[in-house]
Amino acid sequence: MLAVEISTPGGPEVLRVVELPDPVPGAGDVLIRVRAFGLNHAEAYMRSGAWGEVARVPGIECAGTVEHDPAGRLARGTRVVAILGGMGRTRNGSYAQLVTVPASNVVAVDSTLGWERLAAVPEVYATAWSALFGNLALTDGQTVLVRGATSALGQAAVNLAAESGATVLATTRSRERAGLLEELGADRVLVDDGGLAAQVRGARLEVDALLDVVGNSTLRDSLAAVRPRGRVCQVGFLGGFAPVAGFDPLVDLPGAVQLSFFGSAFVLGGEHFPLTGIPFADIFRKVESGALRAGPSRVFDFHEIVEAHRWLESGEALGKMAVTVP
């Protein structure tokens, strides 16, 4: 089969298309013929070496058809999406024509969406849904602030929160991108200058929940932006991996504010976070109807993977990107 491998840790240029033996599914696995896969910042971190030793073939999600399910649960040819389950970390991932995935991380899909559109949904929408309605316990009528909203994950969160009936505040570093977030359902767009808490207080906004995709570099400010007994969930590191220097809960965590972290790559599909708990069927229906405006913002061919990763790291993608597989 054709696959993309990380030849050595480094920039996008270290990715190369090679021929590898077809993988063989083990007990509890499903073999999937990959038709398209989404691009994620996690894969850039893995490729660069920032996450230490990883699998030879990257890729944490895909859309495709079942080639073989040893357990007989899924018939050959069934349309599926798959996310995580060690793909790209502890086992070869989805940047390939074939991939094996734990059955717990495979979801059958009844949808007319094209492969590239299917591939743009699973990881970001599963993560956004879990963080919004799990960690943040967001309910109809509450106000949520999505920090880092123009990212693929941020856009999915704005989409889902608005569809749920919440009032959505969204941030961008560029006023020119406000229209995009408003189209996704944001009620108000704030330009993030690093002092978001002051903006929120100055505008007399009361924030019940805050989803922070930017990460450690904005955490202190995000904690100060929510109301007493409000909730903050960190889901990303767009601002870099440097730790929060000298973080002291006694000083930096406002009284009664709840802080959590949701690391989808390590828990989704596991015992406590089964994919059956995520309403994928409803999400895909809403994508088909246009109620959810899922990507992709750009589609690449398999042999354009280096260029795709360059775009991924440029910050100019403005949403989820996908790659089609021959």
Predicted confidence (pLDDT) per residue in 16-42, tens digit: 999 999 999 999 999 999 999 999 999
For the cut 90, the answer to whether the pLDDT of residue 71 exceeds it is yes
Q: In CATH terms, is domain 2-120+295-324 a member of 3.90.180.10?
A: yes
234 — pLDDT class (breaks 50, 70, 90): very high
For the cut 90, the answer to whether the pLDDT of residue 265 exceeds it is no
275 — pLDDT class (breaks 50, 70, 90): very high
Mean pLDDT for the stretch of residues 238-251: 86
For the cut 90, the answer to whether the pLDDT of residue 264 exceeds it is no
The answer to whether 28 and 71 are in contact (CB under 8 A) is: yes
Instruction: Determine the pLDDT at residue 239.
Output: 81
Mean pLDDT for the stretch of residues 149-174: 95
Note the pTM of the prediction, 2 decimals. Answer: 0.94
The answer to whether 283 and 128 are in contact (CB under 8 A) is: no
Place of tokens 């499903």: 30
Architecture of domain 124-265: 3-Layer(aba) Sandwich (3.40)
Q: 3-class secondary structure for the chain?
A: CEEEEECCCCCHHHEEEEECCCCCCCCCEEEEEEEEEECCHHHHHHHHCCCCCCCCCCCCEEEEEEEECCCCCCCCCCEEEEECCCECCCECCCCECEEEEEHHHEEECCCCCCHHHHHCCHHHHHHHHHHHHHHCCCCCCCEEEEECCCCHHHHHHHHHHHHCCCEEEEEECCHHHHHHHHHHCCCEEEECCCCHHHHHHHCCCCCCEEEECCCHHHHHHHHCCCCCCCEEEECCCCCCCCCCCCCCHHHHCCCCCEEEECCHHHHCCCCCCCHHHCCHHHHHHHHHHCCCCCCCCEEEEHHHHHHHHHHHHHCCCCCCEEEECC
Q: How many CA atoms lie within 13 A of 204 on its CB side?
A: 0
For the cut 90, the answer to whether the pLDDT of residue 96 exceeds it is yes
Distance CA 42, CA 287 (A): 24
Would you list the domain boundaries of the chain?
A: 2-120+295-324, 124-265
Distance CA 3, CA 83 (A): 18
Instruction: Determine the pLDDT at residue 142.
Output: 97
**Assigned token pair, 157:** 């969160």
Distance CA 34, CA 11 (A): 24
Instruction: Determine the pLDDT at residue 251.
Output: 86
Instruction: Determine the pLDDT at residue 203.
Output: 93
Predicted confidence (pLDDT) per residue in 178-223, tens digit: 899 999 999 999 999 999 999 999 999 999 999 999 988 999 999 9
